[in-house]
Amino acid sequence: MKKNKIVSVSVMIIAVSAILIQWGCKPQTVQTAASGDAASKVYVAPGTYDEFYNFVSGGFNGQLSVYGLPSGRMFRSIPVFSVDPEKGYGFSEETKPMLNTSHGFIPWDDAHHPDFSCTNAEVDGRWVFINGNNTPRVARIGLTTFKTEEIIEIPNSAGNHSSPFVTANTEYVVAGTRFSIPLGNNTNVPIKSYKENFKGTITFIKVDPTSGNMSIGFQILMPGMDFDLSRSGRGPSKDWSFFSCYNSEQANTLKEVNASQRDKDFIIAVNWKKAEEYIAAGKGEKWPAKYAHNTWDDKTHSATSTMMNEVLVLDPTKVPDMVYFMPCAKSPHGVDVDPTGEYIVGSGKLAAVMPVFSFSKMIKAIEEKNFDGEYQGIPVLSYDAVLHGEVQKPGLGPLHTQFDDKGNAYTSMFVSSEIVKWRVSDLQVLDRVPTYYSIGHLCVPGGGSAKPFGKYVVAYNKITKDRYLPTGPELTQSAQLYDITGDKMQLLSDFPTIGEPHYGIACPAELIKGNSKKFYKIEENMHPYVAKGEKEAKVVREGNKVHVYMTSIRSHFAPDNIEGVKVGDEVYFHVTNLEQDWDIPHGFAIKGARNSELLIMPGETSTLKWIPQEAGVVPFYCTDFCSALHQEMQGYIRVFPAGSNPEITFSLGDLAEDQPK
Amino acid sequence: MTFGLNKKLTIMKNYLKGTAFVAVASFFLFAACNNPQQSEQSTGSPDVNTPLPAGQSSVQDDESQKNIVQVASGSADHSTLVAAVQAAGLVDVLVNAGPFTVFAPTNAAFDALPAGTVDNLLKPENKDQLSDILQYHVAVAVLKTDYLRDGQKLEMVNGGMITISKNGDQVKVNGANIIGTVEASNGLIHVVDQVLLPQ
């Protein structure tokens, strides 16, 4: 009996093993072996440049990373909403104000949708804007320094998802709240009073055309529901922005069921030019609002945070002809405008068809007041009157659409893990390719602008499972590159990404690479604690604060011997990198600092705050492998006990008398 | 004078032309000597037989402070040294991050060597010997005269030692006079009036 049991167990093990082995051997299909010429299409020879820059949000890592296409090589991770100890971002005294909010210093956010600045709805290569989803913010990254230059907080918002989606000439970046919330004086209300008390806002942030500086132009008060994505118009629709929304049911709980009860939610059309007219006519109501506006200055190498206290609010139920609803199949996610500005694609992620709206029909319907009633006081346009047509059975879970330069659209299908290519003019599905796995957003270079560059589509996948060598429970997330130059899309490569590759944008390298800054001119350094040469290096005590005006150059700090600080002093190392040479940063770290390193660009000054905890001698050193004598680039600071009264001394090259020559 | 250029800069002007000339001259030098390897993009079939691209000296950067080679190349009175550095294959080394101190003999210093010495060293078969001599003129360190001391011995890249003598402002290296100093992005050039011969 026992023996039989062992035999049968053994047979089972063999059978199961055989099945597992068979499953383990993946078939050599297009999924695992991209076709023959794929390798050469993504090969960028050593020392040569990629054709496109690809900026990919890191999602929950709060950063923006920079890749090249077609190689998929990663060049840089730009800290935006999250601290980055590698770069001292959020740790140096100069960068801390960048992460200030009305809630105080926040070291993290969820960065979702980068978008390029535009001129005539074409990518102009000046800035990237990106939204912070959790504590509502929008950031601007400069494309000469690849640095976060500005962050503005969005008041009266809770989850800035529907953002930033730049208007045709970068007049505005937009910010629609994901969560509606109680607004105004009394926000402590029962959650079940959603329908009565909860409101949404759509914010238009004005962008200065020269400096790029952002300021809140106005907010539009919206019915309580969830705002998802957006795209601004171009060409005939350039004065409009379009937003998707869900939860028009106004459910306050179990939204995965209760926000999908109605057949249709809405695409919201906002005429921001009209809104500007109302603002100019004084129709905006002043609402008190506390929000931080943080700006970076490349001359002082420092950020400033200013707390703002007021916004202008427009209520579309009081100022007409500004906001319209277009019915869209269940719970639309993406809303995407084609390059001509005529077609608006709604991706109802729970719907069987994908509606494409016509802007000219929308204008006609508005003129003819072809309404299908209203929703919370805002006119709902007749679905049939505004519809260009429906893409039939496009796939499951349409999410986001990008366009090429030949009149085709590419829509990601989350549920069926595929990209579907279809023609905008007649809405015919032309091709479909699988993605591995669970694609979210997708990107064609310039594919959200009036001038797409075509050539590739990149899938940003949420799940990779067996695509790479396993690394424990958490696996890398991934981008997949497809060639779209032929009739059939062709998978070329997988490349891993850091963070969640939530959303990506790409443009020809020519638009950006020639503007890249090599170093900061030392004579233009306006930092209040700069030392523009070693002769200006010094240590100054001001009460319990000690300011070290330090310089770094290959391969020493000046000074590198400091004595006379005391336990409990606030010591500020203001380190100026004197180099005037491309790609020669210096680092700075000191033992025991409850902080990060500094990483100081050539010509820049950065400050590390350090409070010595005990008497003794403490070393500091350069952390960036700057030169052959990098390991020699170090120094000491001597700490005296609290309550003592030591003299501050500092030196460089002052040897002890007994040193050999 | 941001970088505390040596007071002997006036002397230097006899040896080194103005910045504009440095820039122009080095541009021509690099245009002539190096094939810029950055093309816009080269996808397509990888060619394993493609010769290795030029080294760091081919980096195109007309904004950064000049490196040691760029500075020397701009000096009409260092044409022999520059030719020798090229012949010895040390150009890419001397544009590296360094930091270096180069004792740079003038043309006159090379001319003072026995007749035919330089021509002989520049022959391909004597590349190792030339390289050894040139490396005796290079230290991996920033040797500011302020920090040099009389009698100090310092190791050079070729492994040989030099001896510093200091008498007031007058600094000598193995008996050669330092007659000017100029700073470069990756180190210092001390102009000397004699070729240093490995001892």
Alpha-carbon torsion, ordered A112, A118, A124, A128, to 10 deg: -20
DSSP code at position A59: B
When the pLDDT of each residue in chain A is averaged and rounded to a whole number, the result is 93
Residue B1 C-alpha, separation from nearest chain A C-alpha, in angstroms: 9
Q: Which residues of B touch A509 (CB under 8 A)?
A: 40-41
Residue B3 pLDDT greater than 80, yes or no: no
A386-403, pLDDT tens digit by residue?
999 999 999 999 999 999
Which amino acid is present at A162? S
**A73 and B CB contact within 8 Å:** no
Q: What is the pLDDT of residue B8?
A: 41
A193-204 mean pLDDT? 97
Residue of B nearest to A509 (CA): B40
Cβ-nearest to A49 among B38, B141, B185? B38
Residue A385 pLDDT greater than 60, yes or no: yes
Q: What is the pLDDT of residue A300?
A: 98
CA distance A21 to A340: 52
A339-354 mean pLDDT? 90
CA distance A171 to A194: 33
Mutate to test the interface with B, among A555, A576, A626 (most CBs of B within 10 A): A555
Which tokens is A132 given?
A: 């912070």
Q: Where are the alpha helices (DSSP H) in A34-181?
A: 38-42
Angstrom CA distances, B9 to A612, B4, B191, stand at 43, 10, 11
- The strand pairing partners of B80, in sequence order, are none
**A50 and B CB contact within 8 Å:** yes
Angstrom CA distances, A490 to A36, A275, A499, B190, stand at 11, 45, 26, 60
- The strand pairing partners of A654, in sequence order, are none
Which tokens is A602 given?
A: 């050539």
CA distance B78 to B81: 5
Mutate to test the interface with B, among A453, A513, A517, A582 (most CBs of B within 10 A): A582
**A659 and B CB contact within 8 Å:** no
Residue A389's CB is within 10 A of a number of other CB atoms, namely: 16
Q: Classify strands A371-375 and A378-381 as parallel, antiparallel or unpaired.
A: antiparallel
Which tokens is A113 given?
A: 């949708």
Q: Where are the alpha helices (DSSP H) in A540-586?
A: none
A606-615 mean pLDDT? 98
**A225 and B CB contact within 8 Å:** no
In a domain, A641, yes or no: yes
User: What is the sign of the dihedral through the CA atoms of B190, B194, B196 and B199?
Assistant: negative
In a domain, A615, yes or no: yes
- For residues A605 and A301, is the Cβ–Cβ distance under 8 A? yes
Q: Do A626 and B43 lie within an 8 Å CB cutoff? A: no
Q: Which residues of A touch B42 (CB under 8 A)?
A: 44-45, 48
Residue B175 pLDDT greater than 50, yes or no: yes
Residue of A nearest to B188 (CA): A554
Q: What is the pLDDT of residue B48?
A: 53
Q: What is the pLDDT of residue B30?
A: 42
CA distance A444 to A459: 9
Q: What is the pLDDT of residue A54?
A: 98
Q: Classify strands A214-223 and A302-314 as parallel, antiparallel or unpaired.
A: parallel
Q: What is the pLDDT of residue B24?
A: 39
Residue B125 C-alpha, separation from nearest chain A C-alpha, in angstroms: 30
Residue A18 pLDDT greater than 60, yes or no: no
A170-176 mean pLDDT? 98
Q: Do A533 and B46 lie within an 8 Å CB cutoff? A: no
**A656 and B CB contact within 8 Å:** no
Cβ-nearest to A43 among B43, B50, B65? B43
ipTM: 0.82
Mutate to test the interface with B, among A40, A48, A52, A520 (most CBs of B within 10 A): A48
Mutate to test the interface with B, among A580, A651, A659 (most CBs of B within 10 A): A580
Q: What number does CATH give the domain B65-192?
A: 2.30.180.10
Cβ-nearest to B41 among A40, A44, A523? A44
B102-125, pLDDT tens digit by residue?
999 999 999 999 999 999 999 999
pLDDT class of A34 with cuts at 50, 70, 90: low
Q: Do A44 and B42 lie within an 8 Å CB cutoff? A: yes
A480-501 mean pLDDT? 96
Q: Where are the alpha helices (DSSP H) in chain B?
A: 9-12, 19-33, 68-73, 79-87, 91-94, 107-111, 117-121, 127-135
B43-55, pLDDT tens digit by residue?
444 455 556 667 8
Mutate to test the interface with A, among B37, B39, B63 (most CBs of A within 10 A): B63
Q: What is the pLDDT of residue A348?
A: 81
- Least trusted range by pLDDT, from A8-12, A158-162, A627-631, B173-177: A8-12
DSSP code at position A120: T
CA distance A305 to A97: 5
Q: What is the pLDDT of residue B52?
A: 65
Q: What is the pLDDT of residue A361?
A: 98
Residue A177 pLDDT greater than 80, yes or no: yes
Q: Which sequence spans correspond to the domains of chain B?
A: 2-43, 65-192
CA distance A338 to A424: 8
- For residues A168 and A450, is the Cβ–Cβ distance under 8 A? yes
Which range of residues forms the domain containing residue A623? 525-651
Q: Smallest Cα–Cα separation from A139: which of A296, A335, A300, A337?
A: A296
Q: Do B185 and A661 lie within an 8 Å CB cutoff? A: no
pTM: 0.89
- Least trusted range by pLDDT, from A95-99, A303-307, A481-485, B30-34: B30-34
pLDDT class of B15 with cuts at 50, 70, 90: very low
- For residues A519 and A145, is the Cβ–Cβ distance under 8 A? no
- For residues B196 and B103, is the Cβ–Cβ distance under 8 A? yes
Helices (H) and strands (E) in chain B, counts: 8, 7
pLDDT class of A255 with cuts at 50, 70, 90: confident
Q: Do B3 and A535 lie within an 8 Å CB cutoff? A: no
Q: What is the pLDDT of residue A13?
A: 47
Residue A349 pLDDT greater than 90, yes or no: no
Q: Is A20 exposed, middle or buried (0-12, 13-18, 19+ CB in 10 A)?
A: exposed
| Domain CATH for A610 | 2.60.40.420
Residue of A nearest to B37 (CA): A47
A232-236 mean pLDDT? 98
A596-604 mean pLDDT? 98
Residue with tokens 């020559």: A661
Q: Do A661 and B50 lie within an 8 Å CB cutoff? A: no
Q: What is the pLDDT of residue A659?
A: 66
Does residue A340 sit in helix, strand or coil?
coil
pLDDT class of B4 with cuts at 50, 70, 90: very low
Which tokens is A467 given?
A: 């695509």
A421-438 mean pLDDT? 96
pLDDT class of A331 with cuts at 50, 70, 90: confident
Residue B10 C-alpha, separation from nearest chain A C-alpha, in angstroms: 21
A110-148, pLDDT tens digit by residue?
999 999 999 999 999 999 999 999 999 999 999 999 999
